[in-house]
Amino acid sequence: MPKNPNGGAGAPSETPVPAPAPVANGPADAVTPQADGHANAGRNISARKKQFLIAPRQPPEGLQTLGLQPMQFAALEQALRNSSDIEVVDKIAPLSVLADGMGGAPGVLVARMTDQKAAMLHQQGQGRLLVEHDQPLTLMDASPVQPALVTPAAVGGPVLNAVISVIDKAGMPMPDAEVSLFGSLLPASGVTDANGRVTLSLFGETAATVRGLYVKPKADYWSFYQRDPDISTDQANVVALRALADWPALAGLPRQRALGWGQKAMRLDQLPGAYRGQGVRIAIVDSGAATSHDNLHGIRAGFDILNKKTNPDGWNQDTIGHGSHCAGVIAAADIATGIRGFAPDAEVHACKLFPGGQISQLIDALEYCIDKQIDVVNLSLGGTEVSEALEQQILRAKRAGVACIVAAGNSGGAVQYPASSPNVLAVAAIGKLDEFPADSYHAQTLDANVDAYGYFSAKFSCFGPQIAVCAPGVAITSCVPPNNFAAWDGTSMAAPHVTGLAALCLAHHPDFQAQYKLRGPDRVERLFQIIRASARRISLGDQSRTGFGLPDVLVAVGLQTQAMQPQQAVMPAPAGLGANVGGLMAASYDPFALARHAAVPWPSPPAYQPFFW
The answer to whether 336 and 344 have CB atoms below 8 angstroms apart is no
> What is this structure's pTM?
0.85
Give, rounded to a whole angstrom, the gap between the first and last alpha carbons of the chain: 63
Mean pLDDT along residues 64-77: 61
Query: pLDDT-based confidence at 563, cuts 50/70/90?
Result: low
**Range with the poorest average pLDDT among 15-29, 404-418, 582-596:** 582-596
**pLDDT score, position 578:** 31
**Most confident segment among 28-32, 463-467, 579-583, 609-613:** 463-467
Query: Which pLDDT tens digit goes with each residue over 209-268?
Result: 999 999 999 999 999 999 999 999 999 999 999 999 999 999 999 999 999 999 999 999
In the chain, what percentage of residues exceed pLDDT 90?
71
- Model pLDDT, residue 39: 57
The DSSP letter of residue 342 is S
**pLDDT at 11 > cutoff 70:** no
pLDDT beyond 60 at 291: yes
Q: What is the mean pLDDT of the chain?
A: 84
pLDDT beyond 70 at 411: yes
State yes or no: pLDDT of 534 exceeds 50. yes
Across 71-84, average pLDDT: 86
**Active site (catalytic) residues:** 286, 322, 492
Which tens digits make up the pLDDT trace of 437-471?
Answer: 999 999 999 988 888 889 999 999 999 999 999 99
Please give the Cα distance from 26 to 46 (Å, whole number): 7
Residue 344 has pLDDT above 50, yes or no: yes
CATH numbers and ranges of domains, the chain: 50-60+70-134 (3.30.70), 159-242 (2.60.40.1120), 250-553 (3.40.50.200)
Q: Please say if the pLDDT value at position 326 is more than 60.
A: yes
State the pLDDT at residue 45: 86
**Using 50, 70 and 90 to split pLDDT, how confident is the model at 309?**
very high
Query: Which of 150-159, 250-259, 326-335 reaches the highest mean pLDDT?
Result: 326-335
Strand partners, 165: 197, 238
pLDDT above 80 for 188: yes
Q: CB of 1 within 8 A of CB of 69?
A: no
Sorting pLDDT into bands at 50, 70 and 90, what band is 312? very high
Q: How confident is the model at residue 37 (pLDDT cuts 50, 70, 90)?
A: low
- Would you say residue 306 has pLDDT above 90? yes
Whole-angstrom distance, CA of residue 277 vs CA of residue 490: 25
> Which of 90 and 8 is assigned the larger pLDDT?
90
How much is the pLDDT for 184?
86
| 613 pLDDT higher than 70 | no
The arithmetic mean of pLDDT across residues 191-219, rounded, is 95
Query: Residue 326 burial by CB count (10 A; 0-12/13-18/19+): exposed, middle or buried?
Result: buried
For 390-414, what is the mean pLDDT?
Answer: 96
CB within 8 Å of 554: residues ≥ 6 apart: 267, 270, 271, 560, 565
Predicted confidence (pLDDT) per residue in 363-374, tens digit: 999 999 999 999
How far apart are the C-alpha atoms of 433 and 541, rounded to whole Å? 16
DSSP-assigned states of every residue in 214-256? EEE-SSSB--EEEES----SSS-EEEEPPBGGGSGGGTTTTTS
Model confidence band, residue 404 (pLDDT cutoffs 50, 70, 90) = very high
Q: How large is the average pLDDT for residues 399-424?
A: 97
pLDDT, tens digit, for every residue of 140-153? 877 765 544 444 44
Rounded Cα–Cα distance for residues 432 and 457 (Å): 9
Position with higher pLDDT, 576 vs 134 = 134
SS3 445: helix
Residue 541: predicted pLDDT: 76
Query: What is the 8-class DSSP label of residue 134?
Result: -
Averaged pLDDT, 559-571: 62
Going by their DSSP bridges, the two strands 347-352 and 281-286 should be labelled as parallel
Nearest to 580 by CA among 563, 603, 598: 563
Please give the pLDDT value at position 186: 84
| Average pLDDT rounded to a whole number, residues 276-290 | 98
Is the pLDDT confidence value at 605 over 70? Answer: no
Q: For every residue of 157-208, which 3-state class applies, written as one string?
A: CCEEEEEEEEECCCCCECCCCEEEEECCCCCEEEECCCCCEEEEEEECCCHH
Using CA atoms, how far apart are residues 406 and 422, in angstroms rounded to an integer? 11
Least confident range of 178-192, 289-303, 335-349, 595-609: 595-609
Q: What value does the mean pLDDT take over residues 420-440?
A: 96
**DSSP 8-state assignment for residue 417:** B
